[in-house]
Amino acid sequence: MPGAHRNVSRQLPSIELLQAFLTVAKTGNFGKAGELLNLSQSAVSRQVAQLEARMDSRLFERHTRRIVLTDEGKALEPVAEQVIGLLSDASQMLTTVGRSVSLRAHPTMAARWLIPQLTEFFRWHPEVTVSVDTVYHRFPDFAFESVDAMIAYGTATWPDFEALELWEEQLIPVCSPALLAGTSPEALLRTARLVDSSMDRLDWRRWEEYYPGSTGNDNPHLTFDTLESAIVAVKCGQGIALVDAVLARDELLNGQLVRVHAGRIVTGGRYTLVYPKRVKRSSGFCEFLAWLEQQVAAADFRKADDPERPI
């Protein structure tokens, strides 16, 4: 019945006519309604007249000093309120749907840097939904996975993607204050257990190349496969670890960890937000990206890595 459908469609009143009707019903005056709607009194009067013609009913009794709803108008009022309310809710839903950002990151990086940073992001963008997965061993296929961006670590460049460098990794040696009590940093480095955050013990081998003779000839090792495990071990007094000062920022600032040497290793590794060009304009991600660019420019999260910070 296509023809019947077209006839019904033509008889439906527009939202503008219903808004005019409701505003006049609430104010009881065409002039006041016009002020609220940013329309002239005559324009509001014409819209109400059009609605009455469309509904084939008189909706208001016009008196000299005020306008009163007829029985038909009283019946229409709650229906019009419901229609306008539903459309308002739908409009709000459509403006917030899609305001989301889906990220992938290493679990240590997510727990130690990304999640704490999100507190500030949500202050400015509470309407944005954020999801974080930690499938860090697999770079996302952005064409088929519902991931907007990945915070990647390494020395790679990203010619096929957009990239925002967050910081370059620099490792510093730290331990718990209790482990350092009663001895000097130099003596501790020569005798303490060296805590590794990777099974290949690469970082401490690099350290020996940078600062030969600073460690002993036979320091014992405690080896893990994540930085998080190494930091926990060091906080428990189990040795000295080489840590990224940005990721260990909280412990450095509150004194749970202290430096035992002024040196540092520049590994060449970088933490980088990598994302496809198309997602840059996506609602939710564009807000996140703009906020993150401001954070990187301010670089507040790097303050714990001050080279002048005392040992």
- Asked whether the predicted pLDDT for residue 311 surpasses 50, the reply is no
**CATH architecture type of domain 2-96:** Orthogonal Bundle (1.10)
Mean pLDDT, range 220-244, rounded to an integer:
96
pLDDT, tens digit (0-9, with 9 covering 90-100), for 137-152? 888 888 778 899 999 9
Q: How far apart are CA 220 and CA 260, in angstroms?
A: 17
CATH 1.10.10.10 domain position(s) in the chain: 2-96
Topology of domain 100-167+269-305, CATH: D-Maltodextrin-Binding Protein; domain 2 (3.40.190)
CATH 3.40.190.10 domain position(s) in the chain: 100-167+269-305, 169-268
pLDDT, tens digit (0-9, with 9 covering 90-100), for 66-92? 889 999 989 999 988 888 777 765 655
DSSP assigned state of 173: E
Of 254, 251, 1, 228, residue with least CA distance to 134? 228
Residue 2 has a CB neighbour count (10 Å cut-off) of: 6
Residue 134 has a CB neighbour count (10 Å cut-off) of: 14
Mean pLDDT, range 186-199, rounded to an integer:
96
- Asked whether the predicted pLDDT for residue 6 surpasses 80, the reply is no
Global pTM value? 0.65
- Asked whether the predicted pLDDT for residue 32 surpasses 80, the reply is yes
pLDDT, tens digit (0-9, with 9 covering 90-100), for 40-53? 989 999 999 998 88
Which residue matches tokens 């993607």? 161
Topology of domain 169-268, CATH: D-Maltodextrin-Binding Protein; domain 2 (3.40.190)
- Integer angstrom CA distances of residue 80 from 15, 84, 307: 9, 6, 66
